[in-house]
Amino acid sequence: MSNKRISLTRYLVEQQRVDGHIPSQLRLLLEVVARACKSISQAVNKGDLGGVLGAATTENVQGEVQKKLDIIANEVLIEANEWGGHLAAMASEEMDSIYVVPNRYPQGEYLLLFDPLDGSSNIDVNVSIGTIFSVLKKPEGHTGVSEQDFLQRGAQQVAAGYCVYGPQTTLVLTVGDGVAMFTLDREQGSFVLTQENVQIPPDTKEFAINMSNMRHWDAPVKRYVDECLAGTEGPRGKDFNMRWIASMVADVHRILTRGGIFMYPWDKREPNKPGKLRLMYEANPMGWLVEQAGGAATNGKERILDIQPAKLHERVSVILGSKNEVERVTAYHREA
Ligand code: AHG
Ligand code: MN
Ligand code: MN
């Protein structure tokens, strides 16, 4: 291990000095989110000993039965963030509408969106899960805050990241200047910089998609996967490997680490929905991280970050990862 350990705090302070594009309020926000993730990580680690496994009795706005940890993680993020004065409001997968900072606290200029616990089906089986977050600036020119203020394209994000709770707890962050990874040192209680300037290789031999949905896919997705499955004898002339963790955070973490393509495309099960994943707190932050690491993210037709959201919990078809592969799948959609 290098003897120069750079904590998240030091990294953010130095970034702020270098180019000034982390204003102090944003730095505070990122520190607070990191602290909340540390606390969620503790709860995840305790598992059954902390009584955090299993389902709650409630459903979220998406009609999904909430897990205890979905609710705990959501509360941890709200409690950590509401009093610091850096936020105007928050929005979450687990809340129907936005959470405006109570007026007993000062209001800041940022908006925070999160998927407090991603990969909920993996909680009880002890497989990697995570937290995803996206930061926007509240549009200027009016007082108060409404859902409308959140409906900004992903390209407007000022920070985005996730924390993966796996064999290690790792926080992955972008403020628009590349992607950095920080590993949680449990003894010190701090996140330590372990990788900077993360780069996704443009080509890959690994794809991630829930194959059980194959019969519902659209032709371009079917064509791409069929060609991967044909291996060395097929048009791609090489064998592919497949991974599906069912936690977007863990799948994206693998892709940022060694490349690959991840797809949760539109399918015929619910033709009126654009896809399963949510645009504003899953696809946008992940799409931006992937782009910042040299990869690409589209919905098959356009860049994820260019989509103008119409509502907070809007869903989207997602194709992201190694650039050449994402461009190939997107081209197949264009040709179809
Ligand atoms: P969440 O747990 O926040 O609802 O998200 C789960 C998502 C995503 O993390 C994962 O890639 C996908 O759902 C898994 O879906 P399948 O159950 O279809 O595999
Ligand atoms: Mn999720
Ligand atoms: Mn979730």
Do the domains 8-195 and 206-335 sit in the same CATH topology, yes or no?
A: no
The tokens of 234 are what? 């097929």
Confidence at residue 193, expressed as pLDDT on a 0 to 100 scale = 98
132 membership: H or E segment, kind and range: strand 129-137
Q: Which atom number of ligand 1 is nearest to the Cα of residue 249? A: 9
Confidence at residue 122, expressed as pLDDT on a 0 to 100 scale = 97
Question: Does the beta carbon of 291 sit less than 6 angstroms from any atom of ligand 1?
Answer: no
Question: Does the beta carbon of 247 sit less than 6 angstroms from any atom of ligand 1?
Answer: yes
Least distant ligand from the CA of 92 = 3
Question: Does the beta carbon of 308 sit less than 6 angstroms from any atom of ligand 1?
Answer: no
Which string of b and e fits 252-289 if b means at least 16 CB within 10 Å?
bbbbbeebbbbbbbbbeeeeeebbbbbbbbbbbbbbbb
Residue type, 294: G
Least distant ligand from the CA of 74 = 3
Measure the CA–CA gap between 62 and 278, rounded to whole angstroms: 10
Question: Does the beta carbon of 120 sit less than 6 angstroms from any atom of ligand 1?
Answer: yes
Q: Which residue has the tokens 């003894």?
A: 187
Distance from residue 53's CA to the centre of ligand 3 (Å): 15
Q: Which residue has the tokens 């039965």?
A: 65
Confidence at residue 3, expressed as pLDDT on a 0 to 100 scale = 65
pLDDT averaged over consecutive 10-residue blocks of the chain (336 residues)?
83 88 94 98 96 91 90 98 98 98 96 98 97 98 94 98 98 97 97 98 98 97 98 98 98 98 96 96 99 98 98 98 98 96
Question: Does the beta carbon of 267 sit less than 6 angstroms from any atom of ligand 1?
Answer: no
Distance from residue 218's CA to the centre of ligand 3 (Å): 26
Nearest residue by C-alpha to atom 16 in ligand 1: 246
Question: Does the beta carbon of 210 sit less than 6 angstroms from any atom of ligand 1?
Answer: yes
Judge contact between 255 and 297, C-beta under 8 A.
Answer: no
Query: Domain 206-335 - what CATH class?
Result: alpha beta
Question: Does the beta carbon of 92 sit less than 6 angstroms from any atom of ligand 1?
Answer: no
Distance from residue 278's CA to the centre of ligand 3 (Å): 10
159 membership: H or E segment, kind and range: strand 159-165
List, as one string, the DSSP characters of 11-52: HHHHHHHHH--S-HHHHHHHHHHHHHHHHHHHHHHHGGGGT-
DSSP three-state, residue 71: helix
Q: Model's pTM, two decimal places?
A: 0.97
Judge contact between 118 and 111, C-beta under 8 A.
Answer: no
The tokens of 5 are what? 């350990």
Q: Which of 216, 248, 280, when mutated, tests ligand 1's pocket best, judged by the most ligand atoms within 8 Å of its CB?
A: 248
Instruction: Give the fold, CATH level 3, of 8-195.
Output: Fructose-1,6-Bisphosphatase; Chain A, domain 1 (3.30.540)
Q: Which residue has the tokens 């609710």?
A: 71
User: Where do the structural domains in the chain lie, given as residue ranges?
Assistant: 8-195, 206-335
Strand partners for 241: 206
Residue 92 DSSP code: E
